[in-house]
Amino acid sequence: MNADPVVMEHFPSLLTPGQSAALVDRIERHLDAEGFGLWAAEVPGVAPFIGFVGLQRVAFEAPFTPAVEVGWRLDAAHWGRGYATEAALACLDVGFGPTGLDEIVSMTTPGNLRSQRVMERIGMRRDSDGDFDHPRIAEGHPLRRHVLYRLTLSAPRRRA
């Protein structure tokens, strides 16, 4: 999935198998340290693994940090079926419930309209004043600019 150009269109580069393994290690360390993180997503009876979805602390400095982000990455074969929306809503329940967060953010490139639609479907609102240049993407790179979405505990959100 991390080597699929369609899935990774809005990321600066594809990941090698070694980079994917390192990502899994980081995900596991985050889960151990925080008690929440990115979880493997499956569709029972359809596919044992379709990608990942979850909550993670934003690991870089930006005007909106510290923050926790809801995010997802699904295999393209499973796009357009509501899985990202359903899973993201479950993550919001964890974040605003037992995790005790007051706000959750999400971010992507301006061209990633699919993810922006998921953000809007789960009740997030664009914070255009919070749009930023991603500090881990080189200056001049076409994917450096990111849009920021926010959702607070008190804001209404959609239910699956």
Domain with residue 142: its CATH number is 3.40.630.30
CA dihedral 91, 152, 132, 141 (to 10 degrees): 20
Can you tell me the distance from the alpha carbon of 90 to that of 97, in angstroms, rounded to the nearest whole number? 10
In a domain, 7, yes or no: no
Q: What is the pLDDT along the chain (160 residues), one digit of tens a residue?
A: 999 999 999 999 999 999 999 999 999 999 999 999 999 999 999 999 999 999 999 999 999 999 999 999 999 999 999 999 999 999 999 999 999 999 999 999 999 999 999 999 999 999 999 999 999 999 999 999 999 999 999 987 666 5
Q: Tell me, what's the pLDDT at 160?
A: 53
> Looking at residue 156, what is its pLDDT?
73
C-alpha–C-alpha distance, residues 63 and 9, integer Å? 26
Q: Write down the pLDDT at residue 158.
A: 67
Domain count, the chain: 1
Task: Give domain status of residue 1, yes or no.
Answer: no
- List CB contacts of 132: < 8 A, sequence separation 6 or more: 62, 63, 64, 107, 145, 146, 148
What is the model's pTM? 0.95
| 83 domain-assigned | yes
Q: 8, exposed or middle or buried, with CB in 10 Å at 0-12, 13-18, 19+?
A: middle
- Kindly state whether residue 10 falls inside one of the protein's structural domains: no
Domain that holds residue 112: 17-152
**Average pLDDT of the chain?**
96
9, part of any domain: no
Would residue 6 count as lying in a domain?
A: no
CA dist list (Å): 62 to 12, 79, 111? 18, 30, 20
